[in-house]
Amino acid sequence: MVIRSGFRSMAVLTATAAIGLCCLAPTPDSSASAPLPVPVSGQQVSLRPGAPALPSELSALSFVVADARTGKVLAARDAHRKLPPASTLKTLFAVTALPHLRAQDRHTVSEQDLAGIGAGSSLVGVEPGHTYQVSDLWRGVFLSSGNDAVHVLATLNGGWEETATQMQAEARRLGALDTEVVSPDGYDTPGQVSSAFDLAVFGRAGLARPDFAEYCSTSSAQFPGGGGSYGIMNTNRLLSGSDGVARYPGIIGIKNGYTTQAGNTLIAAARQGERTLVVTVMNPQSGGGFAVYEEARALLDWGFGAWDHVDAVGSLEPVRPTKSAQHHAGVRTAHVAAVKPADGRGEDQTSWPLAGSVAGGLIVVTTVLVLVRRRTSRDRGGRSAH
């Protein structure tokens, strides 16, 4: 007999969170005709008079603070720096696979389903020969960061490599250009990278789904096993309030991660009143293993305090070509180049807008020459006719 009392005790809380999050579907920023690109490197914030300063004790290699509803980026540091994402990549896995899998379906796990799990992986305890409901496996992903649960769900989604391909396509569809998917569970793999910007995009996209919102906001549940069930707790300490880390007021989730190469990574979302923030923090360089939570806490506090006192420095919305750009190839090229993320070669970002200016200038000069040429031809033609 499976005991579900622990999960039922959370049902009201998670359902309430899901209902509250249904209104978080990404909406265009009505104050601008096109999203603003977040600069490639450095720390960006645009403070108005009276705005609080960004926290000074931030050691993360990169971070992003954004409005979950509009996608406005309030502050960022090296937002497009490509880094190993660890288990925060499971956010993209969920955004990609959730629409294809029905929560109520059941699956009996085989040995093959669990093949290829990396050494030292975090596990929820999926057992071959046991039949699981898909919703149980998702709780194993979000709460215990179980790579075993990811492997089974990926099997149901078409296979490991197929799921990685789908995730890559979904990242590009969302405008996340820094992410390269190799291992859907976030396990350290050569070539696998993401960025604070992309992780914020994935977290925001996830919150637009009620099922995602419910899973990521669940702090504890019962997981089938051992002839009954056993309790699991969310390893996101800002949500569970464990290990001496205080639960953040209004916390929603979303996903934490750790590997030796990635260090500690976190996508956190919290709601206060009508305002919801998404914060990503990647690899703090000081403060120990729980510093990622305290730096996220500091950024959330700052974001809610600075909400009405900062101008956006970018947007999580994907950049789409404008109608005019579609008719002017040179202008379109300049627009795309201006938001091209860093590729690790240390390019000077100012060269991209400069290239756009030169391209635009060439278009103007060419247009003028063509018009002059046509006018001269008409004048000559007129004189010969008379």
Catalytic positions: 87, 90, 145
Tokens of 219: 């702090």
Counting every residue written for the chain, the total comes to: 386
The alpha carbon dihedral of 341, 343, 347, 351 has a sign of negative
Q: How many other C-beta atoms are found inside a 10 Å radius of the C-beta of residue 57? A: 11
Tokens of 75: 């502050």
Residue listed under structure tokens 């108005």: 48
Helix H or strand E segment including 362: helix 351-385
Find out whether 138 and 149 touch, Cβ atoms under 8 Å.
yes
Strand partners, 45: 75
CA distances (Å), origin 131, targets 135, 268, 289: 12, 32, 35
Tokens of 134: 């898909």
Cα–Cα distance for residue pair 118/86, rounded to 1 Å? 13
Three-class DSSP category at 23: helix
Cα–Cα distance for residue pair 379/385, rounded to 1 Å? 10
Cα–Cα distance for residue pair 274/195, rounded to 1 Å? 27
Of 81, 76, 74, 54, which Cα lies nearest the Cα of 64?
Answer: 76
